[in-house]
Amino acid sequence: MKGTSGNLIEIEDLHFAYGSNEVLKGINLVVPRGKVVGILGVSGAGKSTILKLIGGQRRPSRGLVRVDGRIIHELDNKGLYEMRRDMGMMFQAGGLFSDMSVYDNIAFPMRELTDLTEDLIHKLVLMKLHAVGLRGSSAMMPNELSGGMARRIALARAIALDPMLTMYDEPFAGLDPISLNVIAQLIRRLNDALGATSIVVTYDVSETLKVVDYAYFIHGGLVVAGGTPEDLLNSSDPSVHQFIHAEPDGPVAFHYPPEPYTRDLRLGA
C-alpha cells in the first residue's frame, strides 16, 4: 500500500561511513509531498550520499530512510526495482550513455520500463528535449555536447517518465547564467505541474533559494539548519551565515583536516 503520510520521505537518525570516514552522523529530515526541497552544504558534506541512500544504492550503518511509507533498505530486489520506477535521478556527472544519441538516451527509460509505442515515445522525447531547450540536439552524440548541454539532457532523461520523486544532484554545475536560471525555473514548474516532489542537492545558494519551498543545510554530518529560504537567509547560526553569504572565515573550514604541517614537511624531507 502506498504511504499516506504528508511526507514522501522521512529520514531518521541516519548514519553512514565510507570506511573510517563517517560522513553522516545522525541526519534527521523530511521531504513533504509536492514540494521542492533543497539540501545545501559544501563539497564532501554528504549531500550526494543522502540521494544514494534514498535510491537504495547504499545502505545506512544506522537509522532509516522511509520513502512513500516503505523503508528502503528493507526492500528486496523486486521491491527496490519497483520503487525506483517511481524515481527520476539527474546524476552529478550526467551519466549519459556515451554510445547512444541524445534521442535514444531520453527514450531509454521509456523503452525499458513502459509498453509505449515508438510513435508515442517519439512525441514524448521531443517534448522533454523541448522543455530543456535542446530539441535540435536529438541526433547528436554525448561527446558532441558541451558540458552544460549534457547536463540539460541528463535533466530531460530524469523527468522522462514524470516520476513521483525527482532527485537532482548538482543540477546547476557547469551551466551558463541564462541556462542556469531557465533550468532552475523548469524544475519548479515541472514539480508544480505534475504534482510531484523534488530534491535539489547543490552548493549553489542563490538559485536554489529562489525555487525551493524548504531547505536544509548540512555540516559536520548533521542537519545544522532547516527552514524556508527566508529562514536560512536570516539564520544567526555561524556556519549557515558563512555558507549563505560565501564568507571565507568561519566554522566551515576550507581545508580538509590534515596532519600537522611540520609532520608532513618532515616526511617529505
Rounded to whole angstroms, the Cα distance separating 139 from 192 reads: 30
What would the grid cell of residue 165 be? 520523486
The predicted structure's pLDDT at residue 42: 84
Report pLDDT for 115.
92
Point out the residues of the chain with pLDDT beneath 70: 1-4, 251-259, 261, 267-269
What single-letter amino acid sits at 202? T
Domain 7-86+163-268 matching CATH 3.40.50.2300: the answer reads no
Residue 222, H or E segment: strand 222-227
Query: Which cell goes with 102?
Result: 541524445
* Residue written as grid cell 545502505: 59
CB burial of residue 269 (10 Å; 0-12, 13-18, 19+) = exposed
pLDDT at position 176 is 82
Sheet containing strand 7-18, edge to edge, reads: 21-32, 7-18, 62-67, 70-71
User: At 269, is the secondary structure helix, strand, or coil?
Assistant: coil
- Tell me the Cα Rg of the chain: 20
DSSP E strand stretches across 91-219: 165-169, 197-202, 214-219
Give dist(CA 67, CA 196) in Å, integer.
Answer: 14
Domain ranges (residues) in the chain: 7-86+163-268
pLDDT tens by residue, 102-160: 999 999 999 998 999 999 999 999 999 998 889 999 999 999 998 778 888 988 899 89
Question: For residue 45, which phi and psi values (nearest 5 degrees)?
Answer: -75, -15
Residues 6+ apart with CB under 8 A from 19: none
Q: What is the pLDDT of residue 256?
A: 59
- What pLDDT score does 255 carry? 54
Note the pLDDT of residue 2: 54
Distances (CA, A) of 166 to 43, 123, 142: 21, 21, 22
Report the chain's mean pLDDT, rounded to a whole number: 88
The pLDDT of residue 7: 94
Instruction: Give me 198's grid cell.
Output: 523534488
* Rounded-to-integer distance, Cα 242 and Cα 10, Å: 28
Residues 6 or more apart whose CB falls under 8 angstroms from that of 234 comprise none
| Confidence (pLDDT) at 173 | 79
